[in-house]
Structure 1
Amino acid sequence: MNRNFYIILGILSILAGISLIVQGREILVTRPPENPSLFYWGTAGLVGLCAIIAIFCFFPQSHPFTLRIIGAIGLVSTIYYLYDSFHNHKFAQVGTALLFWLPGSIYLILKGKITDS
């Protein structure tokens, strides 16, 4: 995998973390006031995850771990998406999740790389 790919992925992770922080106030205003600490902890967790991915991307020895983390996030997201689709009877894009996202996420978790080289 090209080193530039990891640099771009690291920069995008940093931008995603900054975006979460900047948009946090706007989102907090629309949430019910009963438990704001859950929102803060969730946002901090997502920003921390973005920071960890960004740090891993800038060090070549950790690239297999970075892709495995991204694969794990993809796997959990796909499983939740499938659960939600079946629960709400929305089956329009289940095929995309089963044929693209699920195998891709499992491949990243198992291999830790995108190419066979």
Structure 2
Amino acid sequence: MSLGSRIVIAAVSLVCALMFFLTALDPSGLPSGALVFYGMAAVYVIITVACLFPKSHPVTLRLIGGLILSAYVIYVFDSFQTQNFTRAVMGFLVWGLPSGYLAVTGKYPSRGKGAAGFNGAEKNTPRKRRSISS
């Protein structure tokens, strides 16, 4: 992933973390309480750290993968015998299992159809400047 995209994702994640944290400070109107909002703020901080510090990937990517896998496992169990069960299982297969791979290995897949999207090489070719001609 390019440096520019990592910086943009980190900035947006940091703003989201700040918003969740500020919302959790006044839990009077929150239906699920402040703990969920503090947890979401922590998830966005982990995403920010993963974007800004690539050397933290063995830990941060495992945390992110484990959180996504856990969320889908809970979703499947909660939606058992409801009309959302098929949707939950499909989400688990599409997002949960690959996140489980990420949680176990700490890295993106190196082979397969989607591997190029995660492990794409950055182009190091210099850009040509266009001259403005009158």
Asked whether the two chains share a fold, i.e. TM above 0.5, the reply is: yes
Q: When the two structures are superposed, what TM-score results if normalisation uses the length of structure 1?
A: 0.70
The letter for the 2-side match of 1:9 is I
Write the distance in 1 (CA, Å) between the matches of 2:5 and 2:59: 15
Partner SS state of residue 114, structure 1: coil
Query: How many pairs align?
Result: 111
Task: Give the Å deviation of 1:111.
Answer: 2.6
Aligned residue in 2 for 1:44: 38
Q: How does 1:71-110 map to 2 (within 5 A)?
A: 71-86=65-80, 88-110=82-104
Write the distance in 2 (CA, Å) between the matches of 1:82 and 1:29: 28
Task: Give the Å deviation of 1:102.
Answer: 1.8
Write the distance in 2 (CA, Å) between the matches of 1:99 and 1:52: 24
The letter for the 2-side match of 1:12 is V
> Structure 1 residues 4, 65: closer, same or farther in 2, change over 3 A?
farther
Aligned residue in 2 for 1:67: 61
Aligned residue in 2 for 1:19: 19
Deviations 1:45-79 (A, max 9, x none): 33233223313421121123222111011011001
CA RMSD of aligned residues (A): 2.9
Write the distance in 2 (CA, Å) between the matches of 1:88 and 1:27: 30
Q: Higher helix proportion, which one? A: 1
Indicate if the aligned counterparts of 1:57 and 1:66 stay in contact, CA closer than 8 A.
Answer: no
Indicate if the aligned counterparts of 1:10 and 1:53 stay in contact, CA closer than 8 A.
Answer: yes
The letter for the 2-side match of 1:77 is A
Identity over aligned residues, as a percent? 27
The letter for the 2-side match of 1:15 is V
Task: Give the Å deviation of 1:115.
Answer: 4.6
Indicate if the aligned counterparts of 1:75 and 1:102 stay in contact, CA closer than 8 A.
Answer: yes
Write the distance in 1 (CA, Å) between the matches of 2:37 and 2:30: 15
